Structure 1
Amino acid sequence: MSDSTGKGSLLILVQNLPLPHDRRVWQESLALRDAGYTVSVISPLPPNVNHEYELLEGIHLYRYPPPPVTLTKLDFFKEFYYCWQQTRRLVKRVWRERKFDAIQTCNPPDTFWLIAKMYKFRGVKFVFDQHDLCPEVYEAKYGKKGLLHKALLWLEKMTYRTADRVIATNESYRRVANQRGKAPLERIAIVRSGPSKAAFVPCAPKPELKRGFDFLGVYLGVMGPQDGVDYLIRAIKILVHDIGYKRAGFALIGKGDELENLKALSDELNLGEFVKFTGRISDEELIEYFSTADVGLAPDPPNPLNNVSTMNKIIEYMAIGLPIVSFDLQESRYSAQEAAVYVPGSDERKFAEAIRDLMEDEPKRREMSQFGRKRFEEVLSWEHNWPNLVRLYDDLLGHGSAQGK
């Protein structure tokens, strides 16, 4: 064991977001620290930080300068190569400084199995934390399959094949890991991405956030091609200009590749008075918006990716007690159950009508709010999921009832 004072040393690799901004990976790191493991994480640097190493709340953070913004497919491959090489360099540094007993890779991308495999020859265990189904992301984004889609399937297969354990975010991802990836069910653990109860506590409403409207609808999340914010904006246009319902304003919280296009679409549809794009905001401001809003919006349309993905926004709406309007997706229905109204297909007019109907039905909103908050506290919060993560590592490294293999 590389750490004689505890259970061992773990290394986590994440490229998608810097630490501690990646909430899921940060929560995992803290849970494993509290369970007695030494935890190191490699990620890009967050904005306004320029030191490569930092010890933050007992977590050893190794971070590299982020690559330039990608504008072309060539830029995408340059970014991939840059991040992979920077990560590999820092893995070598961590190995020199404290060794590690297990390495956990968080996708995207599905390429870090190559690094993990190098260290498996030294007795290091490999855990794959699957945040996304990369082949489905590609299909949802580009609307096709083709050669690159096949390459993504191969990379995913090699990751499953190399991993000693797989972490899935929901039952659908677990099924993919087992059926497509041939990972044995006993080596797959479900660790959902809900926030902690302490992080999402309602506050007093701030009426000024409604900007003079009777009601407020909020969207939280990434604004990319597959996230459905364009569906939401068109639904708001139908609500305001076609149906003539003008009692509600909307706050769209977040950023993404499509943000400027979405702003242009909102202007084109004459929604400037009704729709506010906030950009990224602080956690404190987010709680204020959620505590003031009347309805949370989940416009992710049905597609091979969204149908099997857990939408973090839905769990976060429920944490504050926001009733939800959502397209009818398999995992969204599992998460929210009676806390949401489900719109079939991707029907924008029905989505608009569902918003109006829920805004005008206070008793139903109250009932949905109470159900959602209770389900979050009893099933979906991080407090109900981190034990699965710790149990996986304890079993893998020989600290649990089952010995790691």
Structure 2
Amino acid sequence: MAFAGKAGHGRRVLILVENLPSPFDRRVWQEATTLFANGYQVSIICPTGKGHESRYEEIDGIHIYRYKLPLEAEGAKGYAIEYSAALFHTFRLAWKVKRERGFDIIHACNPPDLLFLIGGFFKLFMGKKFVFDHHDINPELYEAKFGRRDFFYKLMVLFERWSFKTSDVSIATNESYKRIAITRGGMDPDKVYVVRSGPKLDRLRILPPVESLKKGKRFLIGYVGVMGAQEGIDLLLEAARHLIVDMGRTDVHFGIVGGGTSLDQMKALAVKMGIADYVTFTGRVPDQDLLEMLNTADVCVNPDVANDMNDKSTMNKIMEYMALGKPIVQFDLVEGRVSAQEASLYAVKNDPVDMARKIAELLDDPARRERMGAYGRHRVVNELEWEYEAPKLLAAYERLYSANAPLPGAVPPSYKGS
């Protein structure tokens, strides 16, 4: 059901997001604009970030309140400082939003799994509804970053469970996350809605290649994502070294798009491996630069480390590669296969040598590259684009208002696109 026009009482949403600024976080922005297009008043609280330094602005009818974090966390102490500051500022700004615009629903996007403290406060004392939007599985993320299941891992599991227990409805990004919500989180299956992070094709436009990005080489290998410990950029560089040095493929260049705490370390590693001239690190760039790199790429890669976190997570980069019609090479992970299917080749888990071989295999077979790219593009256009996921988001919201609302898997009969 669509709700056009000005939002009334009960249709005012406050979205909380800590790890990225809006509108840079594409999933959050797609959710926000979809809700707004269907009659909801939407406010967002998030941190500042490069290109998004303003403490308040209105974009496309969405009111964005930002706060500045003291640091970009690295290590347990850093995360403790970051999350404490984020909670303080989010709670402070929630009162500001309540005073200036009001809200009836708090929609909390993790990480961290601590935003239930704010959602729970307003639910308990003011009768607000709480939606937990499960973006990352935090216990597995902790294990991926620090390599242990200690007291803090158990604490992450507890925070996760409290987040689900506090929520009136939870949103999962895939079926693996839904199972976690039900089994580990104790969530009623009827209150868990799968809303995948489908790309929007009006943003991911197919453009002519920019040959200068190949740096004089015949082929470009593209990557977009975060430069962090669990993203496997070191494994990608090992694969690049094997391809260039051991296999003698000096006809390739790697374009690596994205920022993060490991960026400088990865640049230094490329120099140490002797392949710096074959790799461009762009850092975080505007959409146009990202699109130019990916549209120019002959093959796109996803070197995410095989672990419990990545095995169960749907990676936005895979959807973006497919939307642009690019063949993919990635390690063999459960949700990676669910998303890409025949659009990807699957290297042995955490084996950079096999990844290099798979890349070379595709470079030497242009017909196969074209076939795989077309398959991925068709799958996005006909199954995975955001327009197929937006009604599921609206169905989850209808659950907040009616016992007879659509159950997971059902959608409202119509909605306004964002």
| TM interval, short-chain normalised | over 0.9
Match of 1:358 in 2: 362
Instruction: Read off the aligned partner of 2:196 and give its amino acid letter.
Output: R
Instruction: Read off the aligned partner of 1:80 and give its amino acid letter.
Output: Y
Alpha-carbon distance, 1:78 to partner: 2.1
Give the 3 Å change call, closer, same or farther, for CA 49–260 of structure 1 in structure 2.
Answer: closer
Give the 3 Å change call, closer, same or farther, for CA 7–78 of structure 1 in structure 2.
Answer: closer
- Distance in 1 (alpha carbons) for counterparts of 2:362 and 2:286: 28
Give the 3 Å change call, closer, same or farther, for CA 401–53 of structure 1 in structure 2.
Answer: same
Match of 1:79 in 2: 82
Match of 1:291 in 2: 295
Alpha-carbon distance, 1:309 to partner: 0.5
Alpha-carbon distance, 1:79 to partner: 1.9
Contact 2:323 2:377 in 1 (8 A): yes
Q: 1:66 aligns with which of 69, 88, 94?
A: 69
Alpha-carbon distance, 1:74 to partner: 3.1
Q: 1:216 aligns with which of 217, 220, 237?
A: 220
Q: 1:379 aligns with which of 383, 386, 391?
A: 383
Alpha-carbon distance, 1:119 to partner: 1.4
Alpha-carbon distance, 1:398 to partner: 3.4
- Distance in 2 (alpha carbons) for counterparts of 1:233 and 1:141: 19
Match of 2:197 in 1: 193
- Distance in 2 (alpha carbons) for counterparts of 1:4 and 1:10: 10
Q: 1:118 aligns with which of 118, 121, 141?
A: 121
Instruction: Read off the aligned partner of 1:365 and give its amino acid letter.
Output: R
Instruction: Read off the aligned partner of 2:129 and give its amino acid letter.
Output: K
Match of 1:133 in 2: 137
Contact 1:67 1:83 in 2 (8 A): no
The one-character-per-residue Cα deviations of 1:117-175 (angstroms, maximum 9, x if unpaired) are 11112221110001101100011111111011011111001111111111000110011
Instruction: Read off the aligned partner of 2:257 and give its amino acid letter.
Output: I
Match of 2:267 in 1: 263
The one-character-per-residue Cα deviations of 1:28-79 (angstroms, maximum 9, x if unpaired) are 0000001111111111123465553322211111111232334554333222
Contact 1:224 1:258 in 2 (8 A): yes
CA RMSD of aligned residues (A): 1.7
Give the 3 Å change call, closer, same or farther, for CA 216–10 of structure 1 in structure 2.
Answer: same
Q: 1:330 aligns with which of 313, 328, 334?
A: 334
Instruction: Read off the aligned partner of 1:378 and give its amino acid letter.
Output: N
Does residue 42 (structure 1) correspond to residue 57 (structure 2)? The answer is: no
Contact 1:217 1:250 in 2 (8 A): yes
Alpha-carbon distance, 1:205 to partner: 1.3
> TM-score, normalization: structure 1?
0.95
1:153-192 equivalence runs, <5 A? 153-192=157-196
Does residue 150 (structure 1) correspond to residue 148 (structure 2)? The answer is: no
Instruction: Read off the aligned partner of 1:62 and give its amino acid letter.
Output: Y
Does residue 231 (structure 1) correspond to residue 235 (structure 2)? The answer is: yes
Instruction: Read off the aligned partner of 2:63 and give its amino acid letter.
Output: H
Match of 1:56 in 2: 59
- Distance in 1 (alpha carbons) for counterparts of 2:74 and 2:227: 16
State the secondary structure of the residue aligned to 1:273: helix
Give the 3 Å change call, closer, same or farther, for CA 400–47 of structure 1 in structure 2.
Answer: farther
Instruction: Read off the aligned partner of 1:45 and give its amino acid letter.
Output: T
> TM-score, normalization: structure 2?
0.92
Instruction: Read off the aligned partner of 1:186 and give its amino acid letter.
Output: D
Alpha-carbon distance, 1:292 to partner: 1.2
- Distance in 2 (alpha carbons) for counterparts of 1:7 and 1:195: 29
Alpha-carbon distance, 1:388 to partner: 0.6
Give the 3 Å change call, closer, same or farther, for CA 4–75 of structure 1 in structure 2.
Answer: closer
Deviates more, 1:75-84 or 1:183-192: 75-84
Contact 1:6 1:37 in 2 (8 A): no
Contact 1:391 1:400 in 2 (8 A): no
Give the 3 Å change call, closer, same or farther, for CA 52–289 of structure 1 in structure 2.
Answer: closer
Q: 1:24 aligns with which of 2, 23, 27?
A: 27
Does residue 303 (structure 1) correspond to residue 307 (structure 2)? The answer is: yes
State the secondary structure of the residue aligned to 1:237: helix
Count of paired positions: 401
Deviates more, 1:191-200 or 1:166-175: 191-200
- Distance in 2 (alpha carbons) for counterparts of 1:313 and 1:95: 35
Instruction: Read off the aligned partner of 2:349 and give its amino acid letter.
Output: G
Alpha-carbon distance, 1:285 to partner: 1.6
Instruction: Work out which structure has the larger RCO, using CA pairs closer than 8 Å and 6 or more positions apart in sequence.
Output: 2
State the secondary structure of the residue aligned to 2:229: coil
- Which residues of structure 2 form unaligned runs of 5+? 1-5, 408-418
Report percent identity of matched pairs. 42
